[in-house]
Amino acid sequence: MRVAALFVAGALVAASPALAQTVATCPVGTGAAAESQPVWILFDLGSAKLRPNAKPAIAEAVRTATARQSVKVCVIGQTDKLGDKNYNARLARERAQTVATELVHAGLSASKVVIASNPEAFGNLSFGERNAQEEDRRVTIVFR
C-alpha cells in the first residue's frame, strides 16, 4: 500500500510540481455550523476535463476559501462504479489534480490545497430525479 501511495505521489509530482506537496489526507471537519457547504464539480463519463460551467464554480470556491480564511482546501476526486477499479482510481486522482490546478490558477495559494481521491466512494447515490452516476463523477471541494 505504501508503494502505491508513493507511486501516486510521484505521478502527481511529475504532473504538477507546484502542487506536489499537497498529496495528503484531508483533515476531518468539526461539524460546526460555520463550515461552508462543499462545492461539487461534475465531470463527464471517463473524463478529467473541466466542463465549461466549472470555472465560475471554482472561482467562487477561491472567493469562499479567501473569505473564510481557510487553512486547507481539500480537493477530493471521485468516480462512479462503472469500469475497472484501477482506472477509476487513476481517473479520480486526475480529476482532483485538474481542479486543484484550476484553483491555483484562479488565485488560491498552492500551499493551501490538499489533493485526495476517493474512487468509487459512494457509487449509485440516490438524489431523486438527478442522475446518480453523474453525481458520483465529481470532485468535492471542502474548506477547512
pLDDT: is 8 or 86 the higher one?
86
Answer yes or no: is pLDDT of 123 > 60.
no
Percent over 70 (pLDDT), the chain: 68
Q: Is the pLDDT reported for residue 6 higher than 90? A: no
Task: Give the pLDDT of residue 39.
Answer: 94
Q: Report pTM.
A: 0.76
pLDDT at 118: 84
Give residue limits of the domains in the chain.
Answer: 2-143
Where residue 132 falls among pLDDT bands split at 50, 70, 90? low
Which residue has better confidence, 9 or 38? 38
CA 132, CA 26: separation in Å to the nearest integer? 24
* Three-state SS sequence of 63-122: HHHHHHCCCCEEEEECCCCCCCHHHHHHHHHHHHHHHHHHHHHCCCCHHHEEEEECCCCC
Domain 2-143 has CATH 3.30.1330.60: yes
10-45, pLDDT tens digit by residue? Answer: 344 344 445 544 566 776 554 444 467 899 999 999
Terminal-to-terminal C-alpha distance of the chain:
27
Of the two residues 35 and 75, the one the predictor is more confident about is 75
